[in-house]
Structure 1
Amino acid sequence: MRSFSFPIAAFLTACVSVTGVQAQTAHAQAATPRYSTATTPLSKLLSDPAAKAIIEAHIPGMTKQHGLMFVKGKSLKTIQGMSKGGITDEQLAAIDADFANIR
């Protein structure tokens, strides 16, 4: 009689390995914030009421500026460079910390 213990053990090991990779990937995705001040375009942030409220809480009046149409494709970090000190690194860090809580 032929033994199938090795192929079955190899198969089970492969299944456990794949499941572990899937779990790590899911954990990494869960740990990655949905938005970032460095990469997410302002238009995407403003389309989410939670993100918009966070921006408004840390940079009062920002979401109501008339000239936003000209910078909607840019990230807040890029806009910071044009703000002549109007947006600080501390504000962006606080916004990113709050963005981490949006799922």
Structure 2
Amino acid sequence: MAGGLAGGMAAAVTTPLDVVKTVLQTRGCTCLTEDAVALRRVAGFSDAARFIYERRGGVRGFFRGLGPRVMAHVPATAISWTTYEFLKMAILSETNSEMTIHKL
């Protein structure tokens, strides 16, 4: 449960950075619309952030896709942490069993 909540919170906090990254990765449109031409001129992080703020809805533009991103990360993180904790417990109990056997 804690892993899922942590993953959801991390996804929510990093969504603005993910939106900027996505703009930088998808700026190769061949359309001739004014928005597409401006998007092709984006040269880096600050240009992409300015583009999102000015043309994609201000601060709200940085949080587009927040719901689906959080909903995808919650189960993924929960599964990852559950697996990690299970394997850690299994390995430690196996190690403790071997130490007990060696002491006898």
**Quick check: TM above 0.5?**
no
Q: TM-score, normalised by structure 1?
A: 0.28
Task: Give the number of the structure whose residues are more often helix, by fraction.
Answer: 2
Q: TM-score, normalised by structure 2?
A: 0.28
